[in-house]
Structures are given as C-alpha cells and as structure tokens.
C-alpha cells in the first residue's frame, strides 16, 4: 500500500512523516495555493529524505519548461499534473522527463471522468483520483462517490485521494481494492491548517493502515 502525504511545507514535518511510514511526499508547486513551496525549500527537504521516499511536485496548467526547471532545481523523483492537462501534454512531458514518474490527477465529478482515464493511462505512470470542486484543484476535504470505483479498471497503477482521513481511509480502500489500485493520497485530512500537518493524525493514519497487513 503506497501512502502519499501531500502539501508538505516544513522540513521537520516531512522527515517525521517519512519516519512514520509515508512512501511519498507531495510538494505543491502552484503559486496560488496556500500550500505552495518554492523549489529551494523543496530541495532542502528532499535532500534530507531517505532515498526510498518519493518526492512528488504537484503542478497545474503550467508549461513543460517550468515543470522541467522546477523538477531539476527541487530534486524531484515525480511530477503530478493536477490541472486540465491533455493526454498529449502528458506524452510530451514524458519525452522531457524520461526518468521521472508522471502522475495525472483526475477530478472526478461523474462516471464519465473515469471513462476518460483510459487515454491518460497510456501516457503516464500513475493515475490519481481526486474529488471535484468548482473552485479548487485539490486539498478540498471532499470525497469521491466511492461507489463509482467498482468499475474503475485502468491499465496502470492508481491512487485514491479526496477527503481521506484516518477515520474513513479503510472504508475508502475497501471500495477501491483491486483493478491496479496501489495506494492513497492525503492532504487536508491530516492537517491543522493548509500546509501544517498534524503528526498525531498522520500517526493515527498509519495505525489504521496496519489493519490491512
């Protein structure tokens, strides 16, 4: 079970969350976000992390040139596209970043969103399902209708996000099991405020996930 904690802004919290068991940390590279961190800050955190912890930069509706520059400056091991990027865009980005994981986030509003995932699955390494919000790209605290996940069968690994908390994560995972499901992504559900993680909640999360072993 891959666990990604997104919206990391502080070195001490990033290190603590990695020690608790997170396999991936997400860093928001969208300047308008309250969880935004600069490439310099990301790099300071990234170089202190164990090598087996993935460092994912989250971008939305920006240029390939910007993503490549930040990825290099920040020492990222992965890039997450959380905007309106097309499958063709994902394919072009893959050409520029051949050794980096590319994750495409889909904000799920209707079952038709899930049907569109197939075209992206051919261009990226991993898909991520997040809840739809008309004004926010992520970290909304809203959940997906998990009943829709029963027929979601992409040909690549995928992560479930959207309003996940220590309290509901096991129910969410139970709805998503199978069909290349590979893990969960949490942000607001383990926060005190945007970008300020609640380490007690993170510890509770990993305690709950022990029930899966």
Catalytic residue among 6, 29, 54, 90: 6
Catalytic residue among 29, 54, 90, 130: 130
Active site residue 68: no
Tell which residue, 106, 104, 6, has the closest CA to residue 55. 6
Active site residue 196: no
Return the active site residues: 6, 130
């Amino acid at each position: 079970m891959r666990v990604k904690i997104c919206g990391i802004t502080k070195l001490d919290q990033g290190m603590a969350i990695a020690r608790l068991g997170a396999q991936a940390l997400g860093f928001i590279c969208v300047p308008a976000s309250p969880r935004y961190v600069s490439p310099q800050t990301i790099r300071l955190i990234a170089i202190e992390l164990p090598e087996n912890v993935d460092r994912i930069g989250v971008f939305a509706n920006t240029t390939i040139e910007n993503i490549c520059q930040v990825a290099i400056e920040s020492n990222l091991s992965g890039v997450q596209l959380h905007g309106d990027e097309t499958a063709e865009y994902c394919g072009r980005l893959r050409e520029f970043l051949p050794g980096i994981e590319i994750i495409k986030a889909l904000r799920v509003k209707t079952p038709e969103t899930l049907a569109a995932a197939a075209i992206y699955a051919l261009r990226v390494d991993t898909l991520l399902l997040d809840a739809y919000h008309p004004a926010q790209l992520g970290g909304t605290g809203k959940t997906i209708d998990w009943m829709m996940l029963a027929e979601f069968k992409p040909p690549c690994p995928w992560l479930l996000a959207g309003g996940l908390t220590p309290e509901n994560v096991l129910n969410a995972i139970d709805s998503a099991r199978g069909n290349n499901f590979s893990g969960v992504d949490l942000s607001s559900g383990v926060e005190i405020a945007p970008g300020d993680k609640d380490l007690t909640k993170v510890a509770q999360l990993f305690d709950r996930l022990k029930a899966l072993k």
